[in-house]
Amino acid sequence: MTDDVPIPNHTTTLRVLFRLAPYVRPVRWQLLCSMSATLLAMACGLVIPLVTQRILDGPVATHNLRALPLLIGIVLALGIVEALSFFVRRKLVARPTTQIEARMRADLYRHLQRLPISFHDQWQSGQLLSRAVSDLSTLRRFLAFAVIFLVVNTLTLIIGMVVLFLLAPLLGLITLCASLPLIAVSTLFESRYKVVSRLAQDQEGDLATTVEESALGIRVLKAFGRGPELLRKFTVQAVELRGTQLRKIHILAFLWAVIIGLPEIGIGCQLLVGALGIAHGTVSVGTLVAAVTVATYLRWPTDSIGWLLAETNQAASACERYWEVRDSLVTITDPEHPRPLPADGTGHLRLEGVRFRYPGAADDVLRGIDLDVRPGETVALVGATGSGKTTLTSLVARLADVSGGRITVDGVDVRDLTLADLRTAVATAFEEPVLFSASVRENVALGAPDATEADVRSALRVAKADDFVEALPWGLATRIGEQGLSLSGGQRQRLALARAVVGRPAVLVLDDPLSALDVHTEAEVERALRTVLHGVTALVVAHRPSTVQLADRVALLVDGRITATGTHHDLLADNPEYRHLLSTLDDRLPSEELA
């Protein structure tokens, strides 16, 4: 979550933030209006003390109340306008900024869904999440507050100074002298604060990792009684974090002391000079009160500048992190001139000289695979761990693209099909069943949103999942997944199988979906699948003899090549490597009992 992004300097800050332009442009008028409202509020706030001065120096000092109603009316009007502008500013800024955030998030999400699996293998979902949530909300806050106030506060500061100098040059000079160091000090401390705050964030991240491990590894910790040791490690980390937090607090406390102290000293000096001026008749009481009020009013615009600059830098980092993902290339796309699948297609799957290399790797994982899965045939893929079986299965549906050779379905290269056509024709089930926090119906009909209730139920029947789904509290409408009812491994896998068969695909690719099932369920699902597989071309990765039973033919994958194909019995008889992979301890069975 806290990967390092260098703090950008000013020119790159602007360049990075400029990339927000396409999102800001449609709402620029609303943002400008909001900025104007803010400015108006600030102006009213500044003018009120000036009118107050007129009241004190005019009607009050001269005891002539004729002009008073008008002046009071002006104060009242200004006050109401200020309050209204406050309201308008927030109202106006809400819609455009939340809209920008939502659009940017939707675009990011859309892009992520199209980025290849190889991208997702490299990026932790937490890193992507922090871009989609916290970085975007940083940008929203930046657009809603920091940008506006950076402009408005600078203008207010300038106008305020001009007003002060017009009121009484000497009093203005005092405020200026107090303000400049304040801006410098607060900017300096903001940058220091940011460094410590970054450290605290990292330490919080480490602490969170320990917490996660303690919760997820609780069985191991209990089994070996290692809880107390982890508590010690946790305590050390927590104490470290406390130290960093205290440093952070120290910087903050100092910053506050300066922010409060310096202007007070300035006002004190104004008071002395102003009062002496009154005594000598060069300054009026109203002027002094107005000057002090204006100086008080300028405190926030002054000390906020450091904070606002820090916010701007933070927004630039957030922006950079966001575009880092958006700039990643979508490498698996629809072809320019897609070809349709033949209408009379039977699901003939061919792999011709297929090679695959992971990006950045030195060697090919697959080194020229030739495999012909005839229509309606089931071929089991057997190989040792790391021989490339799973990689091979992800190539058929183009979750990754081959680096050499080609894969055809009914004679058409998979890269000449639209992704939608290809993935409708090819259904894949993975070793790890993925369920979403949605209803059972939604989870099963994942690839076929148009599937009818009857389709879903028949798919569940095929995967032997109809009984337990029926027994769920709300049947098909029961929410499962992380946020819903938790299911057993076998149940999850059966739902994943139902999902694979619901769209009646021409080609079925199964990455050993049976490995987590117990013997009985496994046998049940196998029986069901056998009827489904009739008439469907299927490629099935298998680790166990029982899974191989599903296949008409077996292909043995060794070191990225297919070294043998044949029936299970033939290979078991002729191929020592195959025997090594698939025969268990049958050699030591008491042979007399085999009869």
Partner 1 sequence: MTTDIQPTAPIAEEEWRGVAAEDLDELTVAIGLKLQARSRRLLGSLLRPHRRAVALSLLLVLGENAAGLLGPVLIAAALDSGVPDAVHGRPGVLIACVAGYLTCGVSTAVLRFGFLRLSGRIGQDIMLDLRRRIFGHAQVLSLSFHESYTSGKIVSRLTSDLDSIDALLDEGLDGLLSAGFTVVGVGIMMIWLDWPLGLLVMVGFVPLVWVTRWFYKSSQDAYRGTRGAIAKIIVHFVETMNGMRAVQAFRREPRNEQIMDGLNGSFQEANRVALSVVARFTSSVRLVGNVSLALVLGIGAVRVADGGLQIGVLAAFTLYLRRFYDPLDDLAMFANAYTAASAALEKISGVLEETPGVPDPVDPVPLAHPRGEIRFADVEFRYSPDTPVVLPGLDLRIPGGQTVALVGPTGAGKSTVAKLVARFYDPSAGAVELDGVDVRRVTDLELRQAVAMVTQENFLFSGSVADNIALGRPGASRSEIEAAATAVGADTFINALPEGYDTDVRKRGGRLSAGQRQLVAFARALLADPAVLVLDEATSSLDVPTERAVQEALETVLTDRTALIIAHRLSTVLIADRVLVIDDGRVVEDGSPEELVAGEGRFADLHQAWLESLA
| Least distance from partner 1 to the Cβ atom of residue 35, Å | 15
Q: Which of these segments, 63-71, 341-349, 357-365, 462-470, binds partner 1 (CB under 8 A)?
A: 63-71
Q: Is 147 helix (H, G, I), strand (E, B) or coil?
A: helix
By CB under 8 A, the residues from 264 to 293 that bind partner 1 are 264-265, 267-268, 271-272, 275-276, 278-279, 285, 288-289, 292-293
Q: Which of these segments, 111-119, 339-347, 456-464, 558-566, binds partner 1 (CB under 8 A)?
A: 111-119
| Least distance from partner 1 to the Cβ atom of residue 408, Å | 19
Task: Report the residue number, 454 or 585, with the smaller CB distance to partner 1.
Answer: 585
| Least distance from partner 1 to the Cβ atom of residue 159, Å | 18
| Least distance from partner 1 to the Cβ atom of residue 103, Å | 9
Contacts of 294 (CB under 8 A, 6+ apart): 46, 49, 50, 160, 163, 164, 167, 175
Q: Which of these segments, 97-105, 147-155, 354-362, 530-538, binds partner 1 (CB under 8 A)?
A: 97-105
By CB under 8 A, the residues from 320 to 339 that bind partner 1 are 330, 334
Report how far residue 540's alpha carbon sits from residue 379's, in angstroms, rounded to the nearest whole number.
Answer: 6
Does 446 bind partner 1 (CB under 8 A)? Our answer is yes
Q: Output DSSP code: residue 509.
A: E
Going across the sheet that includes 366-373, the strands are: 366-373, 349-356, 404-409, 412-413
Report how far residue 76's alpha carbon sits from residue 53's, in angstroms, rounded to the nearest whole number.
Answer: 15
**Using the rule CB under 8 A, which residue among 9, 12, 201, 209 binds partner 1?**
209
Report how far residue 152's alpha carbon sits from residue 46's, in angstroms, rounded to the nearest whole number.
Answer: 13
Asked if residue 301 lies in contact with residue 160, where contact means CB atoms within 8 angstroms, the answer is yes
Task: Report the residue number, 352 or 442, with the smaller CB distance to partner 1.
Answer: 442
Does 239 bind partner 1 (CB under 8 A)? Our answer is yes
Q: Do β-strands 537-541 and 378-383 pair in parallel, antiparallel, or remain unpaired?
A: parallel
Report how far residue 525's alpha carbon sits from residue 533's, in angstroms, rounded to the nearest whole number.
Answer: 12
Sign of torsion over alpha carbons 476, 478, 482, 488:
negative
Does 360 bind partner 1 (CB under 8 A)? Our answer is no
**Using the rule CB under 8 A, which residue among 5, 158, 162, 220 binds partner 1?**
220
Does 185 bind partner 1 (CB under 8 A)? Our answer is no
Does 449 bind partner 1 (CB under 8 A)? Our answer is yes
Does 213 bind partner 1 (CB under 8 A)? Our answer is yes
By CB under 8 A, the residues from 367 to 396 that bind partner 1 are 384-386, 394
Task: Report the residue number, 76 or 158, with the smaller CB distance to partner 1.
Answer: 76
CB-side exposure of 435: number of CA atoms within 13 Å?
Answer: 27
HEC string for 320-335: HHHHHHHCCCCCCCCC
The torsion of the CA quartet 561, 563, 431, 418, rounded to 10 degrees, works out to 50
Does 1 bind partner 1 (CB under 8 A)? Our answer is no
| Least distance from partner 1 to the Cβ atom of residue 17, Å | 21
Q: Is 64 helix (H, G, I), strand (E, B) or coil?
A: coil
Asked if residue 205 lies in contact with residue 2, where contact means CB atoms within 8 angstroms, the answer is yes
| Least distance from partner 1 to the Cβ atom of residue 10, Å | 29
Task: Report the residue number, 13 or 41, with the smaller CB distance to partner 1.
Answer: 41
| Least distance from partner 1 to the Cβ atom of residue 11, Å | 27
| Least distance from partner 1 to the Cβ atom of residue 479, Å | 3
DSSP code per residue over 253-273: HHHHHHHHHHHHHHHHHHHHH
| Least distance from partner 1 to the Cβ atom of residue 192, Å | 16
Task: Report the residue number, 132 or 309, with the smaller CB distance to partner 1.
Answer: 132
Length of the chain: 595
Number of residues this chain uses to bind partner 1 (CB under 8 A): 176
By CB under 8 A, the residues from 118 to 177 that bind partner 1 are 120, 124-125, 128-129, 132-133, 144
Q: Which of these segments, 302-310, 367-375, 421-429, 530-538, binds partner 1 (CB under 8 A)?
A: 421-429
Asked if residue 285 lies in contact with residue 276, where contact means CB atoms within 8 angstroms, the answer is no
* CA dist list (Å): 460 to 127, 282, 427, 536: 36, 93, 16, 18
Does 201 bind partner 1 (CB under 8 A)? Our answer is no
The torsion of the CA quartet 554, 560, 564, 567, rounded to 10 degrees, works out to 0
| Least distance from partner 1 to the Cβ atom of residue 187, Å | 19
| Least distance from partner 1 to the Cβ atom of residue 417, Å | 13
Contacts of 371 (CB under 8 A, 6+ apart): 349, 350, 351, 379, 555, 562, 565
By CB under 8 A, the residues from 473 to 512 that bind partner 1 are 473-474, 477-485, 488, 490, 496, 499
Which position has the token pair 């070793």?
A: 431
By CB under 8 A, the residues from 72 to 91 that bind partner 1 are 72, 75-76, 78-80, 82-84, 86-87, 89-91
By CB under 8 A, the residues from 19 to 58 that bind partner 1 are 48-49, 52, 55-56
**Using the rule CB under 8 A, which residue among 24, 185, 238, 558 binds partner 1?**
238
